[in-house]
Amino acid sequence: MTPLVELDNVVAGYGGAPILNGINIEIHASDIGVIIGPNGAGKSTALKSIFGLLQVTGGAIRFDGEDITNRLPDALVPLGLSFVPQERNVFTSMTVHENLEMGGFIRDDDLSGTLSEIYDMFPDLKAKRHQNAGELSGGQRQMVAMGRALMSRPKLLLLDEPSAGLSPRYMMEIFEQVVRINKTGVGILMVEQNARQALGFASKGFVLASGQNRFTGTGQELLDDPEVAKSFLGG
């Protein structure tokens, strides 16, 4: 079976020395993939390289078997990829509702079905749908950002540290929603600092260091690996 997304020996960077030195990642539609690793390992860079936000200079990225290396975001969203950046991931001067509408910009059909699904998923947002996203708390903003990304009905959702800066309550809620979204048939690839919690529900874990794969396995395998635990999960 063709993987949903496949990074094949990818070398990429921001123009200077490459940050990714040949990494391999494979995700199926049923997977929740979690990328962990120390700061500067290239975790976010890996996500951005898939989404065409930086230059891939070696290797290939395939989506559903199709080569998408170095394609720009506005060509990738219609294919079924969606990306939630870590920072500045909502339109602060626009209402929650308008933020979601912008996520569905590429669609020409009626958005109301998807909108109500997202409001069901995040009831907090429904109550605040006419408020500007800039007035919301960090956790609610993250929900807006995820909702916006889901509006294009993606097959693959890329999340860059969705729990960064959130309280434990919101972190758990976001993680629960990630699992729920995955159950609807959306493949997930996320970068996470809260490695233990994330590997707990991940079907695939990738440990990156210095822009290369160090360990790959199921979430549980990585949690059980004494070396991973010692070096990357804080003992």
Question: Which residue bears the tokens 């070396």?
Answer: 227
Closest to 164 measured CA to CA, from 85, 63, 105: 85
Which x/- pattern, by CB under 8 A, does the window 38-57 give for another protein?
A: -------------x-x----
Strands (E), the chain: 5-13, 20-27, 32-36, 55-63, 66-67, 81-84, 156-160, 187-191, 204-209, 212-217
Least Å distance between CB 45 and another protein? 15
**What are the tokens at 35?**
């990328």
How many of the other CB atoms lie within 10 Å of CB of 62? 17
Minimum CB distance to another protein smaller for 93 or for 112: 93
Closest to 38 measured CA to CA, from 222, 210, 220: 210
Minimum CB distance to another protein smaller for 66 or for 74: 74
148 binds another protein, rule: CB under 8 A: yes
Which x/- pattern, by CB under 8 A, does the window 73-112 give for another protein?
A: xx-xxx----x-x--xxxxxxx---x--xxx-xx------
Q: How many residues does the chain have?
A: 235
Least Å distance between CB 85 and another protein? 6
Number of residues that bind another protein (CB under 8 A): 25
Tell me which residues touch another protein (CB under 8 A).
51, 53, 72-74, 76-78, 83, 85, 88-94, 98, 101-103, 105-106, 148, 152
